[in-house]
Structure 1
Amino acid sequence: MDTNFQPITSKNARGHYRQHPLEFKRALVALSLERGASVARIARGHGVNANQVFSWRRLYEQGRLGVPALMRDDGLLPVVLAPTAPAPNSTPSDAKGVIVLELGQVRVRIEGQPNASTPAQVLDRVLR
């Protein structure tokens, strides 16, 4: 990804400090979070200190750069709860549950009343 960002410079009483726009910070953070990226190389290529990029990464993870924190590949799966309509003529005793797990091209649907070990076994097999 070839980018050319221009920092905004300003003068103040303490000297020359570069004031980088949020888009610049977010772009460098995004580049630095890519798999195999070198923060030092990215920082040097854009004329900032690597420690500054690490600082922006912390702010980004805390959601303090104006955007939500990045989703990282930490092994967790996203969970979506969707309301289901009760089946007609059903009683609470015959209520069934449905668990749908999606990971990339893999989709697993578990119907009925699975015990707690069933989803664990399925996830163990899918994530191998």
Structure 2
Amino acid sequence: MDRVTQTVEIPPKRQTRRHPTEWKRTIVALTFEPGASVARVARENGINANQVWAWRRLHAQGLLTDDAIPDAMLPVVVNEPSQPSMALEVPTETDNIPSGSIQIQHGKTSIRIEGAPDPDVLRSVLDRILR
């Protein structure tokens, strides 16, 4: 069976724009002018009309101000632990190996797998048999 490989270029994810508060207030003010339309103002400024409506709601609530955003920096005090920490038991790799078996039948072929096989080997065997 021939395989065809094709390279597909995925465009980078768009970053969220951060518009200055003063610019947002200017856009909102333009929508309140006589005969103005939110959709037209948004289109003329290259933004989505839904975004302008959201800014209008913030303006109506008095939240479209520079001081409406609270400071993100808070003081932090780091204390040493009062008691030494208890050592945690780290599970060994043998604890994670599942025991058991699985049997697969496909046509005249029968496969029995016990323990935890290597995923790559299992994938290769199943791919070959299930063709």
TM-score, L = length of structure 1:
0.40
**Which structure is higher in strand share?**
1
Instruction: Give the number of the structure with larger relative contact order, counting CA–CA contacts within 8 Å between residues 6 or more apart.
Output: 2
TM-score, L = length of structure 2:
0.39
- Looking at CA atoms only, which structure, 1 or 2, has the larger radius of gyration? 2
